[in-house]
Structures are given as C-alpha cells and as structure tokens.
Structure 1
Amino acid sequence: MKVSRKIKVLIVDDSLLFRETLAREVGKDFGIEVVGTAEDPFMARDKILELKPDVVTLDVEMPKMDGIAFLKKLMPQYPLPVIVVSSIGKNVFEALDAGAVDFVTKPDVSKQGGMNSFINELIVKIKIASTAKVGSYKKDYEAARIVSEHGTDISNMILAIGASTGGTEAIYKVITAFPRDMPGILIVQHMPPVFTRLYADRLNNSCKLEVKEAQDGDLVKPGRVLVAAGDFHMRLAKGPTGYYVKCAQGEKVNGHCPSVDVLFDSVAEVAKDKAIGVILTGMGADGAKGLLNMRKKGAYTIGQDEKSSTVYGMPMVSYNIGAVAKQLPLDRIPQEICNHLSIK
C-alpha cells in the first residue's frame, strides 16, 4: 500500500510559547510533519533553504524584519505557499498582496475552544496551501483598465462573483480593472467577520466603484459593489424600487457562511438572464451548482482557468458540471465581462 508523503511545514513566530504550541498541535495531524521552527525572518530564510518546506506559517509582527517585508524579499527568489498568522488588521491584505496564499486569525485564548478552532482551521489551510500554485502567473493589471462607454442598459443587470483561497487578490484585480459605469456587483469571498469590512474598504479605496460590506436591505445599483459580510449569507431580492440584498446568519452551506451557492442561486431566481456569474480560484465546490443554476436560467457564466488559479477547485468543478460558458485566465475576465455588456 502506497503511503502519501506528509506535508512539510516550517513555523515562523517570535513567541517561543506560541511556536512550540503550533508545532506540537499541528504536528499531531497524520498528514503533516513540522520540520522546523524559526523565531525571525533571518532564521526562517536559512531554515527554508535547509529544510525545503512545502508550506510556511508566518507571523506578521516580528523583530528585525516584519512578515510583510520578509514576504516581499522571499517570494521573488523562493516562491512557496505561505499562510499568514495575524491579529485582525489591514496588514493581512498587504501580506496577501505580497504573495501569501491565505491567512488565519490568531486565537482569542479567553474564549473556550478558541485555540482548538484555530488549530483546526490552520491544519485545513495548510493542506489547501500545499496544493496551491505560487508565483507562476503574473500579469500587469494596471494596463487592463477599461474605458467606459456602455451600449447596454445596465440598470437591471447583476454581476455576481464568488471565490475562496487566492480570491482576495483575484477579485481585487478584476474589480480595480472596471470603469465606474458597471452594473451592480455582488461578491462572496470566503472570509471571517471583520475582515470582510476591511477588505471592502481596501477595494473601495483602490477602484472607481463604490464598495461596501453588505448590510441587510442595501440597494444593488450601478456603480456599487456589495461584499458579503463574514458569517452572513447574502441573497439577491427585488422589490418595487429595484434590486436589494437580504443578509442573514444561518447554517454553513458547503462548509461556508457566506456561501457562493446561496448567492448564485438567488441571482438565478431573481435576475435570470439579466445576470453574469463569475467563479474564481478556491478549494472545494462552493458556487458550482449555483453557477449551473444561473446558466440554466439564461445568465452568462465565466470561470477562471487552471493556469491563473491559485487553487483550481471551485472553477474546475464548475467547468466539469457544465456551469461555465467560457473559461478564461484572470487577466482576460474583466474585458470579457465588459464585452458582454457592450462596454468598450
């Protein structure tokens, strides 16, 4: 019987207690081998060259050199999957922009079961990160910005986007390429509470559109992007004055809340052929059935291709079940959406 090779992990954190706790608890998983630890980026650099880990967990706030500065030096020379372990803050998105695959929030040890939940989440993300492609697909997205002159009535159109691992940067690159004159956009990115608001603020400060974390009853209108809040499912609805969103807590769907399938299914039923659905990089199958439902109702559907996906999971399942009308590399998706809307 063939035994699969364990995922080799290097843990980088300046706290001795936290380092040892992570090494001990993560190492209990049968699929993971903690090959080493490091207390700062300089030691981490040497350990990476010596031990050749498959995945690195990296604290952001460290002495001598912070984790973001380390990532910026590491990734061009030695690209490998990195999971950032951080307190809540905007620096998480700086780390993702610098090349980290994903992040995990440091646990609240005052909460019962907080450490166990953190360890379980970290183990899952280590396994996902071990399959991720890093540093293999780079494009100049600044040149991809689209000039607005729409030839279609976009007031009743809806653009729905779903993503998971690698999606924060993928969505960022799509949204920042758009002109101001776009239909209402709804986004589900698998992300915990608080971070969804920080992410929406980051997008809002970087693009021509208005971006905000969705609240129950928010209107969906041209030029506005609504990002589903962590722990809240977001559904499209339509009233006398037009589209709006319903946001409510609920059971996880496909292991997630918010769920891409929940959004896509609502868009299929409410907007029908007045919609575009886009599925981007991510592990698992969330969004695939919803995207198929959208396509059956007449929506135009797009999937990110394997080469440009950090994790070709959700787009692959969507493509395999016939939910994707057109599969494209990430850098071509914004223009394809605008072509479909007759925006030049």
Structure 2
Amino acid sequence: MTGILIVDESAVVRQVLAALLRASPGLQVLAAVPGPGFAAEHLRRAWPDVIVLGLTADGLGFLRRIMAERPTPVVVCAAPGTSAEALAAGAAAVIAKPATGLKRSLERDGDAIVAAIRAAAGVRERVRVPEPALTYAAGGAPAAGAAPVAVDRVVAVGTSTGGTQALEVLLPALPATCPGVVLVQHMPAKFTSAFAERLDALCRVRVKEAADGDPVLPGQVLVAPGGRHMELRRADSRYAVRVFEGPPVNRHCPSVDVLFHSVARAAGPHAVGVIMTGMGDDGARGLLEMRRAGAYTVAQDEATCVVHGMPREAVLLGAVDRESPLGSIAEVIFHHG
C-alpha cells in the first residue's frame, strides 16, 4: 500500500484529490492538510511514500527542505510559471493547477493525476538504473574511432507516465554529436518549456521546446510543446518540425503517434524510433509504421518502465526491433543513429 500525504491550501484540491486516491487500489491517503506547518506535524508521526504538494505560500521552501532532509517523491500541483523551480528543486512530476474551474478540471484529469502519483511512487526503484556503457572524449564527443554523425539521421522519442524521470536518465547520456532528436512527452500546455530548460541544464545536447519551423540539428533535442502536435518534415536536404494545434489523438496533444507517423514518411530508414514508459497505446501504431518504413525501433523494457503500457502495446503489434533497459537506450541510439 502506497501512503500519500496531500498538502494544499485549497480545500477543493484536498477533497478532490483525496477522493480520487481513495478510489484507487493500492493507494492510501494518510492525511490531507492545508499547509507545510500542518504537514511537518504529520511527518513527525509517519512518513509517506509520496507527497502531493500545492506550490503556494511556503510550498517551494517546504519542497527544498524535504529534498535536503529526507528525499521523497513529491508531485507538485502548480501553475505553469512555477514548474521550472519545482522540477529544479527535485519534484518528481508537476501537474497543472488551473486558475478557474478547479474542481471540474481535477476530476476531468483524474486518471492522469493518479498515474503521475503512481509513477512518482515507483521512481526510486524503477528509474535509477545503471549508466550506459558509452565512452566519450572530452567535451561530450564520442571517443576516438567513433563514426561521425550524419545530418540525415533523426531519432524520434515518445513517452508519457514516468517519462519525466526516464528522460533525465536517457538524454544526459547522449553525446553532443548525436543525431537530431524529436521528442513527445505527454505534458500539459505551458509546462514543456520549463521541462526543456531543466533538461538542457543536465545534458551535453541542447534541449529546447520546439517552435514551428525549427530545424532538426545534430546535438539538439526538440520537445513538442504541451497542447500542440509536432510533425517531422523534410526541408531540402535537412529536417524541420511543424508545430500545430489540433484535436487530441489517442486522447493526447501532443501525440506520439502523430510524431512517429510523420517520421516514417519523412525519414524512413534514416530514423530510430524509441517508445518509453507510459500508459495506454499512443505511439504503438506510429512505431509500427516507422519499422515498416525501414527505421530501427526500440522499446524500453518492462523492468525499467514505471508503466509498461505504451512499450508493451508496441511489442504486441510487432513494431519493435529491440527491447532495452533504460540505461542502455542511449547506446542503442548511438550505434543505430
């Protein structure tokens, strides 16, 4: 049983989250309190497995104290402008806290919220994996004798639940000379910019939120903006991305399938497709199309996934050339990209 402490000054947030979690098997609400002071009293009596924290008042300071004194998975419920600080302070995930329609929005996004909390509960055991066995020369370049990267190669990555933590393992392991990467992480609008900035600070490669028309360049990762789809387009001898508004696909915007289908068309055998931890089946059919177009396709293995849904569906469709643990995916990209 996973014990959860809810800390939020909003009674509506506490009530809705507590109801969602109490209805979810394997999750137990230890307490729902209005602020860090009340939380501190509870922590002296019993320590939770996961803390759900509203980032108001002294919430950020409380998060930093938790990470300094006894690191614990914390899911932050915050407005978009504070997400970068929360991730930098050690939050396992950030969920959107709308300014209006709070109760309706939380209930509508209940499945995703519960999934984020379940993912956070599994962070310690399932995301900390061995570093990939790659050797780099100074400055993050491949060691002497490694083949130079080709500008016509592209890597497409799709992930969802558990992906924010998994990407912090995968992307820092990529060398500065890796092929251009296009990436979809299911995330609400306005959160992806801060997420990309955090990854950029951790990586040899440059990481940025994609803008319409951005070129796909070696040593750069383009992250699809929350709330908009991203496609790969061929632009003369190079690639660029199209970022656009559209209805959800497989209940998601951005959708991994939208990206993968476009990569199959634009890059064919010059691409590597990677599907990682996440709920549902978004990306499975697109990865199959990539494989049929000649791309090399990889799925994160069950043992290192927080949720094995997306990779499992891709495997069942016959879309996957290789299943790899999280810590080995960078090496696979290096050798096939």
CA contact (8 A) 1:279 1:304 kept: yes
Q: Which residue of 2 aligns with 1:23?
A: 14
Q: Does 1:129 align with 2:129?
A: no
Q: Which residue of 1 aligns with 2:242?
A: 246
The amino acid of 1:91's aligned partner reads: E
Q: Which structure 2 segments of 5+ residues have no match? A: none
**1:47 to partner: Cα distance:** 5.9
Q: Give the Cα–Cα distance (whole angstroms) in 2 for the partners of residues 115 and 72 of structure 1.
A: 32
Residues 74, 286 of structure 1: alpha-carbon distance in 2 compared, 3 angstrom cutoff? farther
Q: Which residue of 2 aligns with 1:116?
A: 104
Match of 1:293 among 289, 311, 318: 289
Match of 2:155 among 151, 156, 159: 159
Any residues of structure 2 matched to 1:145-184 within 5 Å, and which?
146-147=136-137, 148=142, 150-151=146-147, 154-184=150-180
**1:280 to partner: Cα distance:** 1.2
Q: Which residue of 2 aligns with 1:58?
A: 53
Q: Give the Cα–Cα distance (whole angstroms) in 2 for the partners of residues 335 and 192 of structure 1.
A: 30
**1:163 to partner: Cα distance:** 0.8
Q: Give the Cα–Cα distance (whole angstroms) in 2 for the partners of residues 154 and 210 of structure 1.
A: 17
Any residues of structure 2 matched to 1:1-344 within 5 Å, and which?
9-13=4-8, 15=9, 18=10, 20-29=11-20, 31-32=23-24, 34-38=29-33, 39-40=35-36, 41-46=39-44, 48-49=46-47, 56-61=51-56, 63=58, 66-71=62-67, 73-75=69-71, 82-88=74-80, 89=82, 90-94=84-88, 98=90, 100=92, 102-109=93-100, 113-122=101-110, 124-127=112-115, 129-130=117-118, 133-137=122-126, 138-139=128-129, 141=131, 146-147=136-137, 148=142, 150-151=146-147, 154-341=150-337
**1:324 to partner: Cα distance:** 1.6
Q: Give the Cα–Cα distance (whole angstroms) in 2 for the partners of residues 152 and 275 of structure 1.
A: 16
* Higher helix fraction (1 or 2): 2
Name the SS for the 1:165 alignment partner. Answer: coil
**1:262 to partner: Cα distance:** 0.4
Q: Give the Cα–Cα distance (whole angstroms) in 2 for the partners of residues 56 and 330 of structure 1.
A: 25
Q: Which structure 1 segments of 5+ residues have no match? A: none
Q: Give the Cα–Cα distance (whole angstroms) in 2 for the partners of residues 262 and 73 of structure 1.
A: 43
TM-score, normalising length from structure 1? Answer: 0.82
Q: Which shows bigger deviation, 66-75 or 285-294? A: 66-75
Q: Give the Cα–Cα distance (whole angstroms) in 2 for the partners of residues 175 and 87 of structure 1.
A: 26
Name the SS for the 2:216 alignment partner. Answer: coil
Residues 121, 171 of structure 1: alpha-carbon distance in 2 compared, 3 angstrom cutoff? same
Q: Give the Cα–Cα distance (whole angstroms) in 1 for the partners of residues 134 and 55 of structure 2.
A: 31
Q: Give the Cα–Cα distance (whole angstroms) in 1 for the partners of residues 239 and 177 of structure 2.
A: 17
TM-score, normalising length from structure 2? Answer: 0.84
Q: Give the Cα–Cα distance (whole angstroms) in 2 for the partners of residues 217 and 171 of structure 1.
A: 24
**Number of residue pairs matched?**
319
Q: Give the Cα–Cα distance (whole angstroms) in 2 for the partners of residues 312 and 129 of structure 1.
A: 16
Residues 107, 340 of structure 1: alpha-carbon distance in 2 compared, 3 angstrom cutoff? same
Q: Give the Cα–Cα distance (whole angstroms) in 1 for the partners of residues 305 and 91 of structure 2.
A: 13
